[in-house]
Structure 1
Amino acid sequence: MMANGVWGRAAGAMVLGLMLSLAAAMPTFAASVKVTVNGMPITDVQISQRVKLFALEGNKSGTAGATNQLIDEAIQMAEAKRLGISVSNAQIDGAMLDIARNLKVSKDKLLQMLTQSGVNPETLRDRLRSAIAWAGVTESAIMPQVQISDLELDQRAAGQVAAYQSFDYILKEVIFIGQGSGARTGQANRYRSSFAGCDSAVDLSLAYTDAAVIDVGRRHATQMPDAIAKELAGLNVGGITKPRVVEQGVSMLAVCQKTQAQDLTFIKGDLRAEVGNSALAGEVDKYLATLRSQAKIIRN
C-alpha cells in the first residue's frame, strides 16, 4: 500500500511537471486592449472575431466597422444597465434559434458554421445580448418620446387617396367553384352577360352547377387590391366585375350599393406604422449619438 502511495504521488508529479513544461513551451496570446469605453476594454481579439463574423455575413466594413460596432454595444449595454434592463441566457438562446430558423438550419449547424469560419459562438451571443438590451432601452426610454400627429397623418393620407379609392360599396361575390378555370371562366362570363343586379344574383346562379353567391357586405375601396378597386370604380350599381381566377375557382364581385365616401382608416394605419418606424429610428439614432458624445472613449 505504501508502494502504491509513493507511485501515485510520483505519477502525479510527473503529470504535473509535463503540463507545466508544455505550458511553458506554448506561445502566449495575451489580448491587447485597443479601445476603452467608459473604462470598459475592447480587445484586439474581440475586434478580429467581429471582423470574422462580418465576413460570414457579407459585411465588408472590416476592422473600422467592427470597432465602431463594439464601441456602440459597450455604450448600449452601459445604458441598459443604468436603466435596470438585463438579458437572460434564455433570451439569447431564443435569438440564436431564430437565426438558425431563418437560415433554415439547426442550431447545432449554425454553431458549426460559426466555428468553421473561425468565429467563437460567444461573439454572436455578445452581439445578440447587446441588441436585445438595446431593444429594451428603445421600448422603455425612447418610444415614449415618439409622438405622431393625427392631423399630420390625416393630411398625408388624404394626399395619397386616388380618385378610384373614394368609394364605399356593398358587394356580393359570385363564385364558380372548382378546378378547370378555363371552363369555369366561360360559364362565369355567360353569367355576367345575363347579370341584372344583386336582387336576382342568386336566382341566376341556380342555372349553373357549383355556383354560389356570397354576401361580402360593406367594403371601402382602400380595403381592396388596386386592380379590383379601379375596376369597381368604373361600375355603376348593378354592375359586376370581370371573372378572376382565385383559389376556390372563378370569382366576380357585384356592386349592390356604391357611395362617395373617403375613408382614410386603412391608409392611416399603414402610414402610422411607416411614420412611427421612421420617427422612432430617428430618435434611436439621436439617443445613441448623445450617449456616444458623453462617453469617454480612449483609443490605444
Structure 2
Amino acid sequence: MRLRFVPLILGLVLAFAAPVTTPSHAAIKVTVNDVPITDYDINQRARLITLTQRKPASVARRQAEQELIDDQVKLAEADRMGIDIAPSQVDNAFNNIARNVKMSPSQLSKALRSGGVKPETLKARLKAQLAWNQLLQRRFRGQIEVDESDIIAALQKKDEAERQKSVEYDLKRVIVVVPKNSSGGFKSKRRQESNKIRSAFNSCDDAGTILGQYSEVVVQPIGRRLETELPENVREEINSLSPGSLTKPSATPVGFEMIAICGKREIASDIAVRAELENELRAKEGESQSRRYLMDVRRRATIIHR
C-alpha cells in the first residue's frame, strides 16, 4: 500500500492572502483519547484542504474535523503498536512534496503561509499518513490476495487488442561514477558530463564512441523488461522516450545513473495488462482493508465532541 501525499497546486501563493496567526486561546471542539482538537486546528486543516483540493469552506471544515479525528486515532494506534515517526521522516515527506511542485522547502513553507496555513499543519497531516502507512504494511503485508476470477473478469472488460499487446523494452544502465567523499565541484562536473552524454547519445550500438570520451563510465545490461515491470519513478519517462535515448541523470550512491532505451517493441501477450489489473485490484482491496481497520480503531477510541 502506497502512501498518498497531499496534492499541491503551483498557484498556491496566489490563492489567499490571509496572515497566519496563532490564537492565545482556542476553543476545544473534540477530544480523541484525551488529545484536544481545537477550533484553530480545524480552521488550519480546512484552509489546507481549500488550498490543495479547491473545496468550498463549509465542506472543507467538515472534512477537516473528520481528518483530524482520524489522524489522532491513527497516531494512537501507531503508538500502541510501537511505531514512532521521526521528525526527519516528516521533513523528507514535506521536501518530496516541494520537489514535486518544483519548489524548495522554504518556498513551499512561504506559499503555505501566504495562504494562511502554517507549514506545521501539513507536516502534522504527513506524520499521521506515514504512521498509518507503516501500520498497514505491518498488519497486511503478504495478506492482500486477488482472486484469479476477478482478474479474468476485469480482463474481459478490456478491448481485445489491448488485452493481447504488451510493451517490452531492452534496457541498459549507464553510470557516470562519482567516488565517495568527492568534492562538490567534482560532483557538479560529473553531472555536467552526464548531461553531455545524454545529449549526444543516439544509439546503444554506437554508445562506445560517446562514452569513451569520458573517464569511469560503466555500462550494465538490464535486459528485457515489460512496461509493468519498470519502477514507477522511471516508467513514465521511459515510456515517453524513443529507442536510442537516455533518461535524465539521477544521483545515486555510486554516481549519476541513466537508463538507455536500446529497444522497444509490442509483443502478443496479456501479461502486462494482467499485471496492471492485478495491481489495481490489489490496491482496491488494500484500501478496503484500510477502511475496515480504521473503523475498528475508531470504535475503540474515546471521541468526545464539545
TM class, shorter-chain normalised? 0.5 to 0.7
2:73 aligns with one of 67, 72, 75: 75
Does structure 2 retain, via aligned residues, the 8 Å contact 1:53–1:124? yes
Residue 197 of structure 1 corresponds to which residue in structure 2?
none
Q: How many Å separate the matches in 2 of 1:73 and 1:112?
A: 25
Q: How many Å separate the matches in 2 of 1:265 and 1:278?
A: 20
Does structure 1 retain, via aligned residues, the 8 Å contact 2:163–2:270? no
Residue 35 of structure 2 corresponds to which residue in structure 1?
40
Q: Structure 1, residues 245-290: CA drift from partner, whole Å, max 9, x if none?
A: x667xxxx99xxx9xx8x5432221111011011111111111122
Are 1:290 and 2:296 counterparts?
Answer: yes
Structure number with the bigger relative contact order (C-alpha 8 A, sep ≥ 6) is 2
Does structure 2 retain, via aligned residues, the 8 Å contact 1:51–1:63? yes
The total of aligned residue pairs comes to 198
Are 1:56 and 2:54 counterparts?
Answer: no
Does structure 2 retain, via aligned residues, the 8 Å contact 1:87–1:132? yes
Residue 272 of structure 1 corresponds to which residue in structure 2?
278
Residue 305 of structure 2 corresponds to which residue in structure 1?
299
Q: Secondary structure at the match of 2:285?
A: helix
Q: Secondary structure at the match of 1:79?
A: helix
Residue 103 of structure 1 corresponds to which residue in structure 2?
101
Q: Structure 1, residues 130-150: CA drift from partner, whole Å, max 9, x if none?
A: 011111111111344422223
Q: How many Å separate the matches in 1 of 2:136 and 2:55?
A: 25
Does structure 1 retain, via aligned residues, the 8 Å contact 2:163–2:273? no
CA RMSD, Structure 1 to Structure 2 (Å): 3.9
Q: Secondary structure at the match of 2:37?
A: strand
Q: Secondary structure at the match of 2:62?
A: helix
Q: Which letter does structure 1 place at the counterpart of 2:35?
A: M
Q: Secondary structure at the match of 2:36?
A: strand
Q: 1:68 to 1:266 in 2, by over 3 A?
A: same
Q: Within 5 Å, which residues of 2 pair with 1:35-184?
A: 35-57=30-52, 58-60=54-56, 61-154=59-152, 156-157=154-155, 160=158, 162=160
Deviation at 1:29, TM superposition (A): 2.6
Q: Which structure has the bigger radius of gyration?
A: 1
TM-score (norm 2): 0.55
Gaps of at least 5 residues in structure 1 are 1-27, 169-211, 213-217, 224-245
Gaps of at least 5 residues in structure 2 are 1-22, 167-204, 206-223, 230-241, 245-263
Whichever structure has more helix as a proportion of its residues is 1
Q: Secondary structure at the match of 2:29?
A: strand
Identity level (%): 31
Does structure 2 retain, via aligned residues, the 8 Å contact 1:37–1:297? yes
Q: Structure 1, residues 32-54: CA drift from partner, whole Å, max 9, x if none?
A: 21101122111112111112222
Q: Secondary structure at the match of 1:147?
A: coil
